[in-house]
Amino acid sequence: MIAWHAGMLLLLKQAPSTKFFEFNSGCITSAESVLITLQSHTEVMSVLSDEKDERVAIVSFAPQSLASLAAVYSRSDDPLTPREVLHRMREFCTEVLGFAYVFDTTFARHLALREHVKEFVERQRGGFGLPMLASACPGWICYAEKTHSEMIPFIAKTKSPQQVMGTLVKKWIGRRIGKK
């Protein structure tokens, strides 16, 4: 699945912030950097321009990215909403770049939040694993796992919104468009 984050198209991961790199030089391992390199914007554009490639290109936008783009490109006399940005990005991504589908991950975020609540209640009733730490940022989870192993029992098992969106695209949408 292709995701949009911080002005970049990625097939793999959400890019951590610069500050994150300052405090954690081991954020991306060499294996992960190879995967990111193999799935760069160049690879994405190559897939989109190859008429023989039968893969279905799908891009999803996190609500945070849409809000950031709306803030950057709004004018005082003509403010943009995240919804308007999504419509413009959908048009650009399908008509100009050639993506087949463009989604907003808000629905996936709501599903992830519901699962977080369910897990929290189960932990609370069971009397174990509190506090429960959760993050929509896979980079933060990776950081915590690599540098603070004592936190692992407290990290939520629930999928991130990006993981939920990936599952929805692969399993639900994939079946509806005839892809497995």
pLDDT in tens, 125-166: 987 778 998 887 777 787 888 888 998 999 999 888 888 998
Structural contact between residues 114 and 123, judged by C-beta atoms closer than 8 angstroms:
no
- CA–CA dist 147, 83 (Å, integer): 37
- CA–CA dist 105, 50 (Å, integer): 27
DSSP structural state of residue 24: -
In the chain, domain spans: 2-105+160-176
Q: Is the pTM of this model over 0.75?
A: no
140 against 34, higher pLDDT = 140
Whether 27 shows a pLDDT value over 50: the answer reads: no
**Tokens, residue 42:** 């160049």
Tens digits of residue pLDDT in 48-107? 888 898 888 888 888 888 999 999 999 889 899 999 999 999 999 999 999 999 999 999
